[in-house]
Structure 1
Amino acid sequence: MTDPTRLAVWGDPIGHSRSPALHSTAYALLGLDWQYERRRVDEAAFPEALHGLDSTWRGLSLTMPLKEVAHATADEHDRHAALTGAVNTLLLGSTRRGFNTDVGGIVDAFTHAGVSTVGRARILGAGATAASALVALHELGADRIDVRARRPEAAERLRGIADALGVVLTVDAFTAPASDVDATIATLPSGTVLDDDVVTPIAAVGGTLFEAAYAPWPSALAARWPAQQVISGFEMLLYQAVRQIRIFRDGSQERPLPYEGVIVAAMRSRAMED
């Protein structure tokens, strides 16, 4: 009897992760005897933990704070990983292939919500997710993006990505005057509460809100957004997981799974049970 194929999601913290439920549901429907677990791993422990994996391991999903160290570990990078400097998926083997499925997950979240084109956009926050948000907005058509951050200097690292994409990037404090945009992506940590004098003017001209946080839901920001469409970060979690499953199965995040619509529906239903 051969050993089962193994996969896992690593990060710190990790106990809240819904990835095991999402992935396990998909592998069962695909008829794959693959085991997917979660493991708490921080940056310091990552190299030794990775070195300790044997040949039964097919891949890893990486969450915070491991996306940058995973990027440094990968032998090859897909375009999104190369642009953002972040890897959230490692396909293991003789060559470690690094992918970023967060970008595609954000694009899929927008398009499945009926938003296929974005002209001007705004990003709230300048952390790791902001880089993926920037690339995703570009792929949705945005050519002018305004970044708002508590410390505007922290967002300067995004300029290199914007320049590579041909995007006009402005960086301001949260309290700067806001112009109309088609979409806003909030990449702030879960639980962040912004003051009314920050939220009110931004929300009034913010278009569709994509809130990367999804627990608890609605977030403080989503609850105060006007009647325009609000997209939960769960949608990114779901669709980036679908792309990871494509990678682990076929080595490409662009090749759809068999009966993918049925699988996505089952993954969504399973996650909602937790």
Structure 2
Amino acid sequence: MSSGPSRLAVWGDPIDHSRSPDLHGAAYRVLGLNWDYGRRRVDVAGFDAALDGLDGTWRGLSLTMPLKERAFARADERDDDALLTGAVNTLLLGERVRGFNTDVRGLTEALRAGGLGGSRTARVLGGGATARSALVSLLRLGVVEVEVRTRRAEQAQELAAFGERIGLRAAVRALDGPATAVDLTVSTLPGDVALPAAAAAALAADGGALFSAAYAPWPTALAEAWTAAPVLTGLEMLLHQAVAQIRIFLHGTPDEALPDEPAVLEAMRAALR
């Protein structure tokens, strides 16, 4: 099934924590695909040389922090979510390199699966590529007001301006500033970020449910502070964005379902347990 290039991998820095090889390997076994999916530590400075060094046996790449903007720049074609966010987390290789952003879809499906699709107000922590994807996802789920909190004021202003451009009412707050009540907090901060205990407690006090894109190490310091509302890890987002990636690697589009996709999902979930 699906002859042709059979090598794939996830790249990023750090990368040892990634569960993507488990997810993809489980899916490929169900689908009967003789594909090899590995992982490689690649930083921004080394990305171009690493990409240019791939031969014709390579089918595609998954990209994680900090490579999503650089992958966007290297793609010859980009899907709508990539163009909207300026971020690519999936490359389909060939004569022309096609870039996709499956993070938006992954977060949207994760929030729905967690019963958090009805939120109207939200807070986004962090200001990178995943935070932009989070704003798009929140808009599509019906959020109308969002506050942005990052470790750098300039980055927060840029993210809030992006939110306004796509149709959200966005405000900037200091990461350790006074709490404001929201239905949902989406954290895109790396899992090893250690917020002061007082700041984490303030964010948790009126932060509604917490979705943390990080899943290793777990629990994060922020998740430990979240004692009075539901907490979801990034594994659900990882799962759903990976399904979209596998659709791309197999069909060339994230919109065509996989053969026996329920069975594929079941195997992927089992791989995460």
Q: Which TM-score applies when normalising by structure 2?
A: 0.93
1:245 counterpart SS class: helix
Paired AA for residue 86 in structure 1? A
CA contact (8 A) 1:4 1:35 kept: no
1:98-133 deviations in Å (ceiling 9; x for gaps): 111111111111111122222110011223321111
Q: Which residue of 1 aligns with 2:252?
A: 251
Answer whether contact 2:106 2:237 (CA < 8 A) is retained. Answer: yes
Could you report, residue by residue, the CA deviation over 1:195-233 in whole angstroms, capped at 9, with x for unpaired residues? 233222321211110011111222221122133211111
* Post-superposition offset of 1:245: 0.6
Give SS of 2:45's match: coil
The yes-or-no answer on 1:59 pairing with 2:76 is no
Q: 1:12 to 1:200 in 2, by over 3 A?
A: closer
Give secondary structure in 1 for the equivalent of 2:44: coil
The answer on whether the counterparts of 1:183 and 1:207 sit within 8 Å (CA) in structure 2 is yes
Paired letter, 2:164 = D
Distance 2:91 2:262 in 1: 24
d(CA) in 2 for partners of 1:153, 1:160: 11
| Counterpart position of 1:101 | 102
Q: Which residue of 1 aligns with 2:223?
A: 222
Residue in 1 aligned with 2:239? Answer: 238
The Cα of 1:178 is off from its aligned counterpart by 2.7
Question: Which amino acid counterpart does residue 56 of structure 1 have in structure 2?
Answer: T
Paired position in structure 2 for 1:155: 156
Asked if structure 2 preserves the Cα contact closer than 8 Å seen for 1:83 and 1:161, the reply is no
Q: 1:53 to 1:196 in 2, by over 3 A?
A: closer
- Residue 47 of structure 2: aligned partner: 46
Look up the SS of the partner of 1:123 in the other structure: strand
AA partner of residue 171 (structure 1):
V
CA RMSD of aligned residues (A): 1.7
1:33 and 2:52 equivalent? no
In structure 1, what is the equivalent of residue 118 of structure 2?
A: 117
Partner of 1:21: 22
Q: Percent identity?
A: 55
Q: Secondary structure at the match of 1:32?
A: coil
Distance in 2 (alpha carbons) for counterparts of 1:164 and 1:255: 30
- Please give the residue correspondences for 1:68-87 in structure 2 after superposition, counting only pairs within 5 Å: 68-87=69-88
CA deviation after TM superposition for structure 1 residue 83, in Å: 1.5
Alpha-carbon distance in 1 for matches of 2:156, 2:178: 18
Q: How many Å separate the matches in 1 of 2:148 and 2:69?
A: 21
d(CA) in 2 for partners of 1:68, 1:46: 11
Output the CA distance in 2 between the equivalents of 1:77 and 1:60.
14
Q: 1:236 to 1:48 in 2, by over 3 A?
A: same
Question: How far off its partner does 1:267 sit?
Answer: 1.2
Check the 8 A contact 1:4/1:33 in 2, yes or no: no
Kindly tell me the number of residue pairs found equivalent between the two proteins: 271
Q: C-alpha distance in 1, partners of 2:107/2:263? A: 20
Q: Secondary structure at the match of 1:44?
A: helix
Any conservation in 2 of the 1:91–1:247 contact (CA below 8 Å)?
yes
Tell me which stretches of 4 or more aligned residues in structure 1 moved more than 3 Å.
Answer: none
- Structure 2 spans left out of the alignment, 5+ residues: none
Deviation (angstroms), 1:253: 1.5
Give the conservation status (yes or no) of the 8 Å contact 1:58–1:91: yes
Task: Give, in whole Å, the separation in 2 of the partners of 1:46 and 1:149.
Answer: 26
**Structure 1 stretches lacking a partner, 5+ long:** none
Whichever residue aligns with residue 24 of structure 2, its letter is: H
Q: Which moved more, 1:77-86 or 1:48-57?
A: 48-57
Please tell me the residue identity of whatever aligns with 1:168: R
Which residue in 2 is equivalent to 1:206? 207
Query: Take 1:260 and 1:122, find their aligned partners in 2: how far apart are those partners?
Result: 33
The one-letter amino acid paired with 2:193 is T
- Name the amino acid aligned to 2:38: E
Q: Matches of residues 163-174 of structure 1 in structure 2 within 5 Å?
A: 163-174=164-175
Farther off after superposition, 150-159 or 83-92: 150-159
